[in-house]
Chain A
Amino acid sequence: MKTVLRLFLILTIALSFTAVQAAETINGAGATFPYPVYSAWAYQYQKTTGVRLNYQSIGSGGGVRQITNRTVDFGASDAPVPPEKLTRKDLLQFPAVIGGVVLVVNIPGVKSGQLKLDSESVCRIFLGEITEWNDSRIKSLNPSLKLPGRKITVVHRSDGSGTTAIFTTYLSKACADWKEKVGAGKAVKWPVGIGGKGNEGVANYVRRVKYSIGYVEFAYAKQNKLTYTLLKNPSGNFVKPSFETFQAAAASADFDPQKHFYLWLINAPGKNAWPISGATFILLAREKKKSNIKTVRFFDWAFKNGDETAKRLVYVPLPDDLKNKVRAYWKQNGIY
């Protein structure tokens, strides 16, 4: 008994201190939304290069906090960090992949891409001012659609998330009332509705609850075969959520390397741009050149080889010229 115990003790201590880092490891933490695509990339990257990228999805807020405290090699956030804050904390930031938030509804008889909404009507629905589907403000956008006079159930996220940050930023830009009463953030105090945990929770509720509306990441809408709506973008077009419209948003947006790409991809100017898109960002500690080079090498590899993987998981790869802008940014900071 005693010898066994001693053996265990020696074994664990040995494991703890000697077997460290047999392979090269990059540690990252942050946003949950890009977790599947980062881990898929990491899986392939390890197979081809032997380098491990351990990404922990602890949430965007956690990602910013961890990199600020320099406890990880990179942080990840769905919400862009403003340039002033980056300078203050001595951080670098660049986009890695694009996602989009789509509105999903459950109205019997209404199919995907049939219901048209604009920012004003979405805002009023989530404020609880439009309460029924046959409200004149919805009807006027959909003259040909038969809408029932049923009560709308709003479904939102109940946990903190980058998805919510993107969506509430959109709502804050859509109407002044939202900005004033609720505001934008990773978690907000919702005026109406029921809350689901995670994208899947919201998707679940919308699928089950008739006459409901919710917002989820595009990937979840697609995988769960939910009914999505069209949205009117600032160019006046009703667009359908798809790879093309997300990429149009990313391509038309003015990502400025001088501002560390700080940009909300909300209401991007492109003709076919989906109005509620968002890039998810990587944060680096400026002075940690060595580990930054490792991280950048990984993302450069992903930019070159990861597009198919991303698309299969329903994420939108960055458009090529944005990738090149990011590479130039790396070069400029001496880590590429």
Chain B
Amino acid sequence: MSTVTPMTTAKPVPSTEPDAGAAARPASQLGALELRGISRAYGAHTALHPLDLTIRGGEFVALLGPSGCGKTTALNSLAGLLPLTAGEIVLDGRRIDTLPPEKRGFGMVFQNYALFPHLTVRANVAFGLKMRGVGKAETTRRVDAVLALVHLGEQAHKHPGQLSGGQQQRVAIARAIVMEPPLVLMDEPLSNLDAALRLEMRSEIRRIHQEFGLTTLYVTHDQEEALSLADRLVVLHEGRVSQIGTPADLYEHPANPHVAAFMGYRNLLPLTVTSADAAGAAATGRGLTVRGTAVGDGQLREGGPVTVAIRPEDLRIAGADEPALGEAVAEIVEYHGRVLHVEAVTREGDRIHLKSSGTVRPGDALSVAVDAERALFFPEPAPSTVAATEPAGEVPS
């Protein structure tokens, strides 16, 4: 039922392409990287609450969250660009949070690429090798191999200013991986590209990650990007971890309404619990009645508040014999190929979103229904920022 096919390989597939020059590369330079309660405060404001995370070699981990959630802080602390205020970072048993960025040996791809404008593509990529005193012949060999991997062999003599956005992005990646770093950090690397290029580079990044045997920590605010790229996701909210899990975990079993809203549960209804037992839970309010599944950490209590999260694609027009969730009038109908996206208004004035393969016209009165296992009951109140979150309905399969 999941529309996501997570990349299940914890161990990357070694490249078999001859031009990649990566065939003989070891699977990963990293055993395990442990973040033990790392935290960053600015005076009284804590940008990142203690974060525990273990990244295994070859893994692709995404840090996901809206802007200001602390994900860039976490990344910069890991890179050493921002000193920690608590916690430690341990790389294969060796503590590294005391090292300056240049001694950690991580590769980093910056949001604005941060290419050296006065150096050619080749010199940009070779910079790290030069700093480490790698010999000339060895440098040339490795730079050539990496440039071939990112398909930039032809552009080696150009300056960054002469390249397109996508090419600059590839240079930035090449520069970060030429050192064969144990960990590559990527800070929203696709946010400066247009939509089509973003899709293309997304597959490129995944391909490079696998062919080069990288371990990658990827920061993004785009859940679609995170779901399609990562083996594991860390969702941050206001500096705290909301949930850690595989894309399928998060997509199917969000831990709280924040994560649900992020994962495309577009209908978040504040209702009141009428019954809660082992068989299931029911809630009512605002002219609606729902049977659903209790999830999350807290306990449902009869008469207590509940947030019911339902995906638009799980909401359907009720059959003649099944109990309806409620009545709503279709207001906006968008054509999306085989399905229609319908925005309908309930009698109480709440907006609900559903998908329909049948014909719906604006003004039609709809009776909607949902399967009990597809309606998630969260004891917490709904996030106020739902409207600001983009739906994740169209996750590519």
Question: Are A and B physically bound partners?
Answer: no
| Chain A residues within CB distance 8 Å of chain B | none
